[in-house]
């Protein structure tokens, strides 16, 4: 709270924009007791709200029960995520909570720079705006707040222990606005509120990072404590392996940046199809993708069906991308489908482990992609996979696969034959 001064005017003559002084000593005994009770409840209740769930609503309820006439709360969490830089949530007393994912890029930087959140983090001051006396163009949010009937708007910086700068805002429609005791009350609970938000933010960031780099199910296993070397979990599933053809030749004259762009565009043709049909991406292996579609009880057919649909849609997307000229050179892929057992295991030495997928069936599916190019077939399946399907495939005979002694009977979809 240091560095705050009373009655600092912001924006010259644009109105009464004061930086309030949250003085906990100005609270009555009754409200001080209410603040202490609220701090205990925040610590006990808010961290238990599941990740990704609405947590502003229970916070708003707690604040209103404590006597604050709060009609709107908004916050933004910084996120370590490949697609977005932060998650913004806004709660209103009448409409509930809305969520938006803030994309990376210059547009966000410009939007944040002109926001009250940026102002309070830049100055370290609280910002209390009497909206009736505030110019519409002071911040982009002002006009929206006025049109929705809010009378006062309070923005407070939240500085986490890891150095991350965040903020939270409160708005009221009460004609009386926030009283000095209300401001002092918020100042009293702010350290607890900041700590609670940081706990949630850290959980959210860890979840995102693990999900991004190891996948959703391994993330759950790791966070549940499965980090000991040698632990193995067996999973019956349909297994999909996809491998770009001639990747080395195609990228031989590319810069590293161009090669990464090629891979990103290529993976955009495959990964969404896998995820839409309930599959899990387990590994990116250079230009290859390894995914599984889990069996659910005795219903093994649906896993194979979903894997086949994902493979067919991936090939269609890749064909469309080639027609649209999204690749510098035409790209083709070989997709192999198998059904069997995948095993998650912690492999490594010392304190550096890899949570990876292993097993003979995984090795088989990976080796099968080598026959895609040899047989000029973009899509191949094993007998074990074909037996799970609700449709017939075309047999193409038995073939030898490196590392497996007996020839393996293979199948294709005739519509994808090259």
Q: What percent of the chain is predicted at pLDDT more than 90?
A: 37
How far apart are the C-alpha atoms of 90 and 76, rounded to whole Å? 9
Q: Give the mean pLDDT of 53-72.
A: 88
Give pLDDT, residue 129. 94
With 70 as the cut, is the pLDDT of residue 345 above it? yes
Least confident residue range of 2-16, 169-183, 301-315, 316-330 = 2-16
Q: Over 90: is that where the pLDDT of 231 sits?
A: no
pLDDT bin (cut points 50, 70, 90) of residue 209 is confident
* Neighbouring C-alpha atoms within 13 Å toward the C-beta of 410: 27
Residue 24: which pLDDT band, with cuts at 50, 70 and 90? low
Please spell the DSSP secondary structure of 240-303, one letter per residue: EEEEETTHHHHHTTS-HHHHHHHHHHHHHHHHHHHHHTT-EEEEEETTEEEEEEE-BTTBHHHH
Q: Does residue 308 carry a pLDDT above 80?
A: yes
Q: Go through the domains of the chain in sequence order and give each one's CATH number.
A: 17-213 (3.30.450.40), 216-416 (3.30.70.1230)
Q: Tell me what pLDDT residue 415 has.
A: 60
Q: What pLDDT does 207 receive?
A: 78
Instruction: Please give the average per-residue pLDDT across 308-325, as a whole number.
Output: 95
- Tell me the pLDDT of the chain averaged across its residues: 83
Phi, psi (degrees; rounded to nearest 5) at 210: -65, -40
Rounded to an integer, the average pLDDT of 152-180 is 90
Judged by average pLDDT, the poorest of 120-134, 201-215, 273-287 is: 201-215
pLDDT-derived band at 226, boundaries 50, 70, 90: low
**Per-residue pLDDT at 46:** 79
Residue 80 has pLDDT above 70, yes or no: no
């Amino acid at each position: 709270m240091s560095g705050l001064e009373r009655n600092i005017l912001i924006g010259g003559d644009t109105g009464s924009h004061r930086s309030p002084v949250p003085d906990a000593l100005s609270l009555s005994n009754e409200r001080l007791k209410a603040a202490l009770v609220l701090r205990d409840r925040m610590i006990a209740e808010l961290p238990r709200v599941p990740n990704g769930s609405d947590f502003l609503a229970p916070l708003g309820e707690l604040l209103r029960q404590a006597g604050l006439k709060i009609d709107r709360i908004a916050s933004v969490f910084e996120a370590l995520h490949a697609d977005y830089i932060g998650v913004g949530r806004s709660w209103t007393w009448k409409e509930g909570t809305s969520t938006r994912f803030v994309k990376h890029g210059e547009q966000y930087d410009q939007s944040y720079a002109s926001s009250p959140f940026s102002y309070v983090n830049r100055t370290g001051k609280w910002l209390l705006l009497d909206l009736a006396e505030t110019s519409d163009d002071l911040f982009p949010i002002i006009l929206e707040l006025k049109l929705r009937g809010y009378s006062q708007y309070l923005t407070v910086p939240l500085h986490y222990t890891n150095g991350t700068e965040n903020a939270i805002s409160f708005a009221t429609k009460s004609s009386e606005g926030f009283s000095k005791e209300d401001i002092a009350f918020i100042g009293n609970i702010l350290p607890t509120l900041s700590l609670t938000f940081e706990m949630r933010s850290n959980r959210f960031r860890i979840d995102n990072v693990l999900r991004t780099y190891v996948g959703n199910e391994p993330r759950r296993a790791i966070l549940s404590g499965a980090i000991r070397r040698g632990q193995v979990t067996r999973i019956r599933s349909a297994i999909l392996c996809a491998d770009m053809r001639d990747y080395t030749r195609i990228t031989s004259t590319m810069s590293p940046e161009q090669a990464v762009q090629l891979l990103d565009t290529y993976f955009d043709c495959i990964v969404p199809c896998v995820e839409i049909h309930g599959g899990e991406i387990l590994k990116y292996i250079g230009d290859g993708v390894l995914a599984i579609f889990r069996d659910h009880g005795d219903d093994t057919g649906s896993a194979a069906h979903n894997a086949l649909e994902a493979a067919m849609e991936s090939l269609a997307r890749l064909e469309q991308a080639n027609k649209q000229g999204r690749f510098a050179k035409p790209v083709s892929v070989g997709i192999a489908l198998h059904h069997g057992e995948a095993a998650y295991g912690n492999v490594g030495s010392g304190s550096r482990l890899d949570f990876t997928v292993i097993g003979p069936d995984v090795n088989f599916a990976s080796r099968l992609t080598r026959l895609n190019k040899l047989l000029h077939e973009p899509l191949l399946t094993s007998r074990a996979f074909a037996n799970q399907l609700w449709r017939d495939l075309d047999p193409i005979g038995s073939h030898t696969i490196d590392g497996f002694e007996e020839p393996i009977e293979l199948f294709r979809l005739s519509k994808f034959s090259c």
